[in-house]
Amino acid sequence: MASPPLVDVDLVEGIATVTLNRPEKLNAITLELRSAVRDALVDLPEDEIGGLVVTGAGDVTCAGMDREIVADPAYDEKYADEIGALTAEICEFLTSRPYPTAVAARGALIGIGFILSLRCDFLVLGEETKLALPEVQFGIAPTETVPYIEAITGTRVAKEIVLTGEPIAPERARELGIVNRVVPNDEVEAGARELVGKIAENDADAVRELKRAASSFE
């Protein structure tokens, strides 16, 4: 029997949903899964899409990088370059979309999952979701992420997030502006689709121009 795909893609009424499909491992990111995400995103039929939601199958949207990778003493030699290149491709794709993009997260959104959410326009978070960027605890410094957090939260809070690696409670994340909506865990995908769907009903050229004006990183 063939293994299930690492990423599922669904397109309904102009809203594409890209779902990480490694629930038995809490959607922890491997090089293979990251490559599958990249491929799924770049293969989307752009002329049919008015909005994008990224999420994960199962109870945990993304537990971060697979621990076998981040805990490897040879991380820099074995993984850093390829991980960096794939991450850059995915982030460039997400930040350059003319349509609204969102992450819908439940259970946990850790590390790379959190990083990718910062490249999307919106984040809808389940009310019992762990949100954290613990890379510093593994000796990894994702410096390219700091400006995105700092632009949202300010310098002092950004330093707290990246230098401690400690989780941020969903309601605090909402108050800081990291999260747009906090909803029951079983409503995150519906909430994200509703948000991007409303925006997709507006004039596409106006949406594109307003997105460009709102971003300091285009």
- State the CATH number of the domain containing residue 169: 3.90.226.10
Residue 1 lies in a domain: no
| Per-residue H/E/C for 73-138 | CCHHHHHHHHHHHHHHHHHHHHHCCCCCEEEEECCEEECHHHHHHHHCCEEEEECCCEEECCHHHH
Residue 131 lies in a domain: yes
Total domain count, the chain: 1
pLDDT at 218: 41
Residue 2 lies in a domain: no
Question: What is the per-residue pLDDT across 89-144, written as a single tens digit (0 to 9) for each?
Answer: 999 999 999 999 999 999 999 999 999 999 999 999 999 999 999 999 988 899 99
Question: What is the per-residue pLDDT across 186-213, written as a single tens digit (0 to 9) for each?
Answer: 999 999 999 999 999 999 999 999 999 9
Residue 122 lies in a domain: yes
Residue 14 lies in a domain: yes
Instruction: Select from 188, 9, 2 the least CA-distant residue to 102.
Output: 188
Domain extent at residue 97: 7-214
**Does residue 30 have a pLDDT over 80?**
yes
